[in-house]
C-alpha cells in the first residue's frame, strides 16, 4: 500500500529488512552479511541485529544471529485470524483424503509464493510446510498468480529480472517465460514438471473471490513414482477446478 513519506518510519522498515534477510539459504547471519542482504551499512545492520536480539526475535552467540521462536508469533497470529486458511482447510483435507496427494493454498509475496494452508493428512512431496517460500517463477502456483496480474504489473515484475535455474527443467529464458505466462493466463491453470525440484510434479488453479479477483492459488503436488506427469492433468486438475468453483462463493 502506498504511504506518504512523512508517515514512513524508516527505522522500522530497516529493522524488518534485517529480519527478512534470514531464509533457508542463510539461516545464520553476522553484521556484514545482514548489511549486504538488507542494503544497510554494517554499523546500522549491527544495531538492528542487537535490537532484535534484545527484543527476543533473534538468538545470538555474540557474532552470529539466527531467528528465535518468538518470530512464530507473527505466523501464528496470521493463521489464527485470517479467513483464507480457515475457509480453505476443509477442502484441502477432503482432497487429500480422496487422492492421497498433497494439496495447498498459496499466495504471492514479491518474488516468492508462500504456503498459507495445506492438507494435513498427506506428506508434502518435498518437505514443504506452512509458511514455506518458493521462487514464484519455478512453481505452478507462482505462474498462476503471476498470470493473474494485469499485464502492466507483470511487465514491471519481469523488468530486469534474471530467472534462477533450480533444475535442468526450469524455464529461465525471459521471452519463453513471458510466453508461458500468457499460456497460463489463457488456460487458467498451470502444470509444472520438475522445475522446482526433480521428480516433483504440480498443478495449480487460481482461487477467485465472488468479484472474480484472484486471492490465492490452489495446487496439488505429487512425485514421479506416484503419478505420471500426464496423469496430473487428466486426474488431478479437474479436482482442483471443481474445488475452486466450490470455494469461490466463500472467498
* CATH assignment at residue 155: 3.30.450.40
Query: In total, how many domains does the chain have?
Result: 2
Is 248 exposed, middle or buried (CB count within 10 Å of its CB: 0-12, 13-18, 19+)? middle
pLDDT for res 136: 96
Identify the domain containing residue 36 by its residue range: 5-71
The answer to whether residues 173 and 56 belong to one domain is no
pLDDT for res 229: 64
Q: Is residue 162 part of a domain?
A: yes
How many CA atoms are closer than 13 Å to the CA of 184, on its beta-carbon side? Answer: 28
pLDDT for res 127: 52
Last residue of a domain, one of 16, 41, 71: 71
User: CATH code at 19?
Assistant: 1.10.10.10
Cell of 48: 538492528
pLDDT for res 120: 67
pLDDT for res 123: 47
pLDDT band at 200 (very low <50, low <70, confident <90, very high): confident
pLDDT for res 231: 78
pLDDT for res 201: 87
The answer to whether residues 87 and 62 belong to one domain is no
Q: Is residue 77 part of a domain?
A: no
pLDDT for res 223: 77
The answer to whether residues 45 and 110 belong to one domain is no
Amino acid at each position: 500500500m502506498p504511504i506518504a513519506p512523512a508517515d514512513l518510519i524508516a527505522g522500522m522498515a530497516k529493522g524488518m529488512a534485517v529480519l527478512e534477510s534470514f531464509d533457508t539459504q542463510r539461516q545464520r547471519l553476522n553484521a556484514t552479511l545482514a548489511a549486504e542482504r538488507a542494503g544497510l551499512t554494517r554499523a546500522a545492520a549491527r544495531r538492528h541485529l542487537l535490537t532484535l536480539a534484545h527484543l527476543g526475535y533473534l538468538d545470538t552467540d555474540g557474532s552470529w544471529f539466527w531467528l528465535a521462536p518468538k518470530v512464530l508469533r507473527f505466523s501464528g497470529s496470521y493463521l489464527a485470524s485470517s479467513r483464507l486458511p480457515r475457509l480453505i482447510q476443509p477442502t484441502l483435507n477432503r482432497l487429500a483424503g480422496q487422492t492421497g496427494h498433497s494439496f495447498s493454498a498459496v499466495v504471492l509475496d514479491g518474488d516468492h509464493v508462500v504456503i498459507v494452508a495445506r492438507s494435513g493428512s498427506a506428506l508434502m512431496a518435498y518437505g514443504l510446510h506452512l509458511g514455506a517460500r518458493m521462487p514464484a517463477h519455478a512453481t505452478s502456483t507462482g505462474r498462476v498468480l503471476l498470470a493473474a496480474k494485469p499485464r502492466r504489473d507483470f511487465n514491471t515484475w519481469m523488468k530486469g529480472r534474471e530467472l534462477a535455474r533450480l533444475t535442468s527443467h526450469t524455464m529461465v529464458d525471459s521471452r519463453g517465460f513471458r510466453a508461458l505466462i500468457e499460456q497460463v493466463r489463457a488456460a487458467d491453470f498451470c502444470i509444472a514438471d520438475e522445475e522446482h525440484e526433480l521428480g516433483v510434479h504440480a498443478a495449480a488453479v487460481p482461487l477467485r473471490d465472488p468479484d472474480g479477483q484472484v486471492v490465492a492459488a490452489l495446487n496439488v503436488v505429487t512425485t514421479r513414482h506416484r503419478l505420471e506427469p500426464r496423469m496430473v492433468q487428466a486426474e488431478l486438475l479437474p479436482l482442483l477446478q471443481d474445488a475452486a468453483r466450490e470455494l469461490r462463493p466463500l472467498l
